[in-house]
A and B are shown apart, each in its own frame.
Chain A
């Protein structure tokens, strides 16, 4: 009941927000229909709230869960680029995607349910263009390793996640962090560039004054 009352109060105080929600819902439905018709292997759950542009390109497999929303964050919507047929991008339900760029060339990128993203860059290979990746292929360059981010992860602004990163559920990636080939546990604050250490948030909260 309180949720309903809150919703009604929000609508009364901000009628243009309701209009924006309606347009976002329509735009999201159009995106779902468009990618079902044209995309090679793209499936987006209903409903999708598209407040900004959603760009999906490439032949790989893309799955986006139910109830996601795409926000505008520093003039950018969400963009997902896959490089080959073996690439797979899986995004859970209820995510708030704003400004995220996912580049998946040959491995898999998994993002859990209810994740939040700022302007960040998730990439499994060092370079975005498949031709350049192939021409640069040397044994020393760590290319193509899987990325898995748990549920309810918050990716901070300007963070970069490179191949081989694993972040547990409920964790927070701080702004400007750069993860490369590292795995972090559950409910941690991950920072630094390159990110090497993580701090359990429960311990950090203990320092906070009540």
Chain B
């Protein structure tokens, strides 16, 4: 029953995007178990058969996708699943197929500069883009900082802060995230 409601909610959200939010394009088969909020004027592309859900036992968190400039783009592949993930882009975030993100933050900007007036930071797009490879998995309460490239099949343990690129197939843990094992 909940699966049917999730499918109906996904179809209604697709319809709403087609009618009112022209910058958002969503593939068929979206399932929404909990609130999905897409804000901002940038381009958002979500692939086929994606899953949007919350964390069980935590009613306050839901999936947030936000673009902070008209030139920003968030591209999400097919079969991705998000559990209360927060994705904020000022430049661009590319997420591959079959990615799993759980209650983690993926943010490609610092929001403010370290100068006294706290204006927009002087960031360049080529240094801030985030690329997450196919079938990567990001655990709960972890955070992916700007300019990070996460390889395919990589696993990020819960509670880790990713500050350096992650190689394909690696398992990283801690702050800053360091590899603990590698699938070879």
Contacts and interface: CB of A to CB of B under 8 A. Distances in A.
Contacts of B81: 129, 132
A200 interface: no
Interface in A108-151: 121, 123, 126-129, 132, 136, 138-142
Q: Kindly list the 8 A-B residue pairs having the minimum CB-CB distance in the complex, ordered from nearest.
A: A79-B57, A160-B159, A194-B174, A55-B57, A193-B175, A140-B183, A178-B159, A193-B174
A126 to B, nearest CB: 5
Given A57-B56, A123-B158, A141-B155, A160 B100 contact: no
A121 to B, nearest CB: 6
A128 B140 contact: yes
A158 B141 contact: yes
A108 B102 CA distance: 22
A102 to B, nearest CB: 9
Given A123-B140, A132-B81, A180 B57 contact: no
A123 B158 CA distance: 9
A43 interface: no
Given A128-B56, A132-B137, A193 B159 contact: yes
B168 interface: no
A142 B140 contact: no
B37 interface: no
B58 A162 contact: no
B83 A129 contact: yes
B141 A126 contact: no
B165 interface: no
Interface in B36-65: 53, 55-58, 60
Nearest to B141: A121
Nearest to B170: A140
B5 interface: no
Interface string B151-184: 0010101111100000001010111001011110
Given A127-B137, A158-B141, A132 B180 contact: no
Nearest to A159: B159
A101 B58 contact: yes
Given A160-B158, A178-B159, A178-B174, A126 B56 contact: no
B139 interface: yes
Contacts of B175: 176, 178, 193
Nearest to B84: A128
